[in-house]
Homo-oligomer: A and B are copies of this chain.
Amino acid sequence: LTVDEDVESRIRAIRNDKTHGASWLSMSALDVLKVIAEEAPAGSSMQLLNTLREKAKRLIEVRPSMAPIANSVARLIHEAEAAGPIPLDSLRKAIAEKADEIVDESRISVNGAAENVSKLIEADGTIITCSYSSTVFEALILRPDIRVIVAESRPLFEGRLLAKRLAEHGLRATLIADAAMAAFINDADAAVVGADSVLADGSIVNKVGTRLLALAANDVGVRFYAATETSKFDARSLLGRAPVLEEGDPSEVAEEVRGVEIRNPYFEVTPARLITAVVTELGPMDVHMIVSQMEEMSRYVEPLLR
């Protein structure tokens, strides 16, 4: 296996991975760039940077819906270029270290967002959620006093796993069908969901079911929080680019039914008007704060989109 074959097989794995969330995949994407930095043949620093930039663009393209991939790899490329003209071996080492640093920062961000979310939940309160967001999970297990109502999250039932893990951490967990979210909304003090990305208008892209839960919560005055890291902010939406909403294999919804079209969208947009706050490592954020942060980030993301 050449380095390039290894790299290409890792990129394919990221393209085909429908199990892990955007944060996890952005770590995998950084790993790919780290492998290139450490092992890819290169005659000069310039050549290595070119290879990195090219593969970074590929990584962004294979999962266009995942802002954290774009943010992480763009951030790494930006830092590598900012290192200036240094010898090839120093550059290889500097990039590998920087990749590890970004991974560490990402963990710190998740913990920070989780902590900020957990502070918004009252003592012995009840939270309702759908799908399985790592950030939401981290937030909830900081609060073993609460009860969590979890929608199973068809088609892949990741809500079942979340309910199981919450129970393992001592929380009271209740599992329901997605269709029953409105039937339980009055039991909840707040709804908390993750976000696969946050857009420049303050809306979020997240697993289907999120918008239904937001509508149910708003209808009865239950607060609706999106728990996420600023690394999920989609700077591309600043440029008016519409989010790409991935669709899964129809067979996940049902076996073929003669004459019936089966559709399996994974993601949907939940508008800002239904969101009480986007809660990140920086705290609860409104649309203005989101846009400022995004403008900052777009400085290094934008060059990679050309």
If A174-B261, A260-B173, A263-B174 touch, whether A179 touches B151 (CB-CB below 8 Å) is yes
Copies of this chain in the oligomer? 2
**Is residue A232 contacting chain B, with contact meaning CB distance below 8 A?**
no
**Is residue A146 contacting chain B, with contact meaning CB distance below 8 A?**
no
Flag if A163 contacts B257 (CB, 8 Å). yes
Per a CB cutoff under 8 Å, which of B153, B167, B174, B259 touches A179? Answer: B153
**Is residue A10 contacting chain B, with contact meaning CB distance below 8 A?**
no
Binds B, one of A41-49, A209-217, A277-285: A209-217
Flag if B164 contacts A130 (CB, 8 Å). no
If A253-B176, A253-B177, A258-B167 touch, whether A265 touches B183 (CB-CB below 8 Å) is yes
Flag if A174 contacts B212 (CB, 8 Å). no
If A212-B212, A216-B212 touch, whether A254 touches B175 (CB-CB below 8 Å) is yes
A54: which B residues are within 8 A, CB to CB?
Answer: none
Flag if B181 contacts A254 (CB, 8 Å). no
If A160-B254, A257-B163 touch, whether A175 touches B211 (CB-CB below 8 Å) is no
* Complex Cα gap A176–B268 (Å): 14
A167: which B residues are within 8 A, CB to CB?
Answer: 257-260
Chief secondary structure at chain A's binding surface: mixed
Chain A 147-184 near chain B by CB (<8 Å), digits 1 or 0? 00001111101001001100110001111111111111
**Is residue A111 contacting chain B, with contact meaning CB distance below 8 A?**
no
Best-buried of A160, A177, A258 by chain B (most CB within 10 Å)? A177
Looking at chain A, what size class is its interface with the partner chain? 35 or more
* Complex Cα gap A133–B206 (Å): 31
A154: which B residues are within 8 A, CB to CB?
Answer: 152, 154, 177-179
* Complex Cα gap A59–B176 (Å): 30
Flag if B179 contacts A212 (CB, 8 Å). yes
A181: which B residues are within 8 A, CB to CB?
Answer: 212
**Is residue A100 contacting chain B, with contact meaning CB distance below 8 A?**
no
**Is residue A208 contacting chain B, with contact meaning CB distance below 8 A?**
yes
Flag if A183 contacts B268 (CB, 8 Å). yes
**Is residue A207 contacting chain B, with contact meaning CB distance below 8 A?**
yes
**Is residue A264 contacting chain B, with contact meaning CB distance below 8 A?**
yes
Flag if A160 contacts B208 (CB, 8 Å). no
Smallest beta-carbon distance A124→chain B, Å: 16
Smallest beta-carbon distance A230→chain B, Å: 26
* Complex Cα gap A184–B262 (Å): 12
Smallest beta-carbon distance A179→chain B, Å: 3
Smallest beta-carbon distance A252→chain B, Å: 9
Flag if B183 contacts A155 (CB, 8 Å). no
* Complex Cα gap A190–B174 (Å): 33
12 example contacts (A-B, Cβ-Cβ < 8 A) are as follows A154-B178, A164-B259, A164-B260, A168-B259, A175-B262, A177-B178, A178-B179, A179-B212, A180-B208, A182-B212, A183-B208, A212-B212
